[in-house]
Structure 1
Amino acid sequence: MTAAGRLRRESVRMQAAELFEQDVKPPEVARRLRVSPKSAYQWHQLWCEGGVQALASRGPSGSRCRLSPRCLEKLAAYLEQGPAAHGWVEDQVWTAARVATLIGRKFHVSYSVSGATRLMHRLGFSPQVPARRVAERDEQAVTAWKEATWAEVKERGRPAGATSASRTRQDSPADRPKDAPGADEAARRL
């Protein structure tokens, strides 16, 4: 959840607390604040047990980052150096799996691929294929292949008159062939 979303959620809970103080029942609170009745009942229970403080935000949920701020700075510097500086010389792509491996090698901390992706986004990076073409790409060979081979391989589309655009309707049982499955049953119903 974004910071703005968390602030809105906390604002709604504080509004609910004000309504509870005015003896407004949870179903009415849910209707007024446009939240689910389940949320309103949960908030009411928390409010009864601990007042307004019980409805205050406790910060973002989820596990804390396992890397210190200093380690995050080092990781950002490693990512800026590029994959080749860390042993991936075949291309210049930071994948989430590579970042998870790099974190394990450099900081001895295990991260899942999805965790590495979230960490990369937090640092302003994203796992992706670069927009640049590889240096070894032979443009003449690619053009020749597209003109000769692809033209032969590409499946030709349907001719313009071969398609139909009509409504479908259920076939009448009387129109079925006599030897079709279920034809004898359909004949008995007629």
Structure 2
Amino acid sequence: MTWPLPTARTTDARVEHHEQRGRREEVRMRAVDLFEEDVEVPCIARELRVSEKSVHQWRRAWLLHRMGYSVQIPARPAAERDEEA
């Protein structure tokens, strides 16, 4: 057995984490659709209810990926993760 044993609370937190991750991925995929339609960054940010900074980061990664570069973007900056803790 591993210690500490999983509790209902930790199990619920893991499920919630995976659900949130899935929602964030859906938002990023919708952003890609909008990039391909040449929608402006402020419009994308408003529609997806995210910051323009996030949209700029996603667009940059999308452009680099289209150029053949391997790019990984963190789901959220460390500062945002720290604020929630």
* TM-score using structure 2 length: 0.58
Equivalent in 3, 6, 12 of residue 27 of structure 2: 12
Correspondence 1:29 to 2:44: yes
The CA RMSD measured in Å over matched residues stands at: 2.6
Larger Rg belongs to:
1
- Answering whether residue 60 of structure 2 is matched by residue 49 of structure 1, we say no
Distance 1:55 1:37 in 2: 19
Read off the aligned partner of 1:27 and give its amino acid letter: P
Q: CA deviation at 1:5?
A: 0.5
Separation in structure 2 between the aligned mates of residue 55 and residue 29 of structure 1, nearest angstrom: 21
Q: Per the alignment, in what secondary structure is the counterpart of residue 58 of structure 2?
A: helix
Q: Would the aligned equivalents of 1:30 and 1:36 in 2 still touch at CA under 8 Å?
A: yes
Give a deviation string over 1:63-92, Cα, whole Å, max 9, x none: xxxxxxxxxxxxxxxxxxxxxxxxxxxxxx
Note the C-alpha offset of 1:57: 8.3
Runs of 4 or more consecutive aligned structure 1 residues displaced over 6 Å after TM superposition:
54-58
Q: 1:55 to 1:10 in 2, by over 3 A?
A: farther
Aligned residues of 1:26 and 1:40 also touching (Cα < 8 A): yes
**Counterpart AA for 2:17:** T
1:45 deviates by 0.5
Q: Which residue of 2 aligns with 1:157?
A: none
Q: How many matched pairs?
A: 56
Which is helix-richer, 1 or 2?
A: 2
CA distance in 2, matches of 1:55, 1:40: 15
